[in-house]
Structure 1
């Protein structure tokens, strides 16, 4: 496969919902063996609905000709965000104060197996962030995904682990990471 990718920016989840869910199931369950209720298509669909209902939600789908390569989507964290409430260790005073324009949450980034190692994930990631005005971006990563390799990739992209959180009772404990954008 090539890394000659065309990008489609989307702000209406219904235009790409099934594509996003199909890629999620293919990668999380089949490739990474992340199974159980939390990773089911139904639960992911519920999270996608919640994320996409937030003001400023944006997705990008990468295509190699007509074949979807992967996707990423994000939402800015608003003043009433619950993003930081599941942290297992406290963060410094003011670190979690959100305005709707301070921190972007990278909710998901998923690339299909045939395009891994081609730079596709990085290109999708950077394309999504290119037009953003927030000064920082945060994400959660399962430290067991890819036997730790996924977290290592984010570290190479400039993210730093700031703590851990478990946002749902049946979710894994995720590494919470942050990167400066500006």
Structure 2
């Protein structure tokens, strides 16, 4: 973890996230180049083709962490799952229909949460997470996490997430844990 600099967390809607794409890309490319992800430049390009369409979702919510001088250090973003989402179809063992039911408001899909290495361990990930969920009226949050990303798995569990299955989130992906967090109302 770096020294005692101030890190600002900015909530962003889809339009603001699209305008800050370069900052999101810097964080994503650095964090997901690390094991266990080992993403390549082509993987990053594919992610940001999806990012552009994700930011156009009317339920998109994001957060960007920056240093006092504007250097991007962390990101989080996602959107509500629609009635025809394929998220639940990727699980290796089907879940009950009641868990799969989506209406465009019930479940917030947390697509990415990442903090660059020098800034880890200071609570930035939790602040990003809480910023994205602040004021969210979803019943629950779902996400996929690589099981070998021990720090991420540990953080999510300490925040109240529970494992509901395993999935391959995209073709050729490693098996990921699918975690669910019930939100208080």
Structure 1 match to 2:29: 25
Given that 1:2 and 1:115 are in contact with CA atoms closer than 8 Å, whether structure 2 keeps it comes out as no
Q: CA RMSD in A?
A: 1.8
- Residue 163 of structure 1 corresponds to 165
The equivalent residue for 1:63 is 66
Query: 2:120 matched to 1:116?
Result: yes
Q: TM-score, normalised by structure 2?
A: 0.89
Q: Aligned residue for 1:176?
A: 178
Do 1:140 and 1:175's aligned partners in 2 also have CA atoms closer than 8 Å? yes
Residue 147 of structure 2 is aligned to residue 151 of structure 1? no
Q: Matched residues in 1 for 2:138 and 2:152: separation?
A: 24
Count matched residues.
Answer: 179
Give the distance between the partners of 1:81 and 1:34, measured in 2 at CA: 24
Q: Following the alignment from structure 1 to structure 2, what is the Cα–Cα distance between the partners of residues 155 and 9?
A: 24
Structure 2 gap ranges (5+): none
Cα 1:16–1:173 shift into 2, 3 Å: same
Call closer, same or farther: CA 1:3–1:82 in 2, change over 3 Å: farther
What is the rounded CA distance, in whole Å, between the counterparts of 1:48 and 1:26 in structure 2? 16
- Structure 1, unmatched stretches of 5+, are none
Q: Secondary structure at the match of 2:99?
A: coil
**Shift in Å at residue 80 of structure 1?**
1.1
Secondary structure of the residue aligned to 2:98 is: coil
Task: Give TM-score scaled by structure 1 length.
Answer: 0.90
Write out per-residue CA displacement over residues 67-96 of structure 1, whole angstroms, 9 at most, x where no aligned residue. Answer: 222010010011111111111111123111
Of residues 34-43 and 51-60 in structure 1, the stretch that sits farther from structure 2 once superposed is 34-43
SS for the counterpart of 2:144 is strand
Pick closer, same or farther for the CA change 1:170–1:53 going to 2, 3 Å: farther
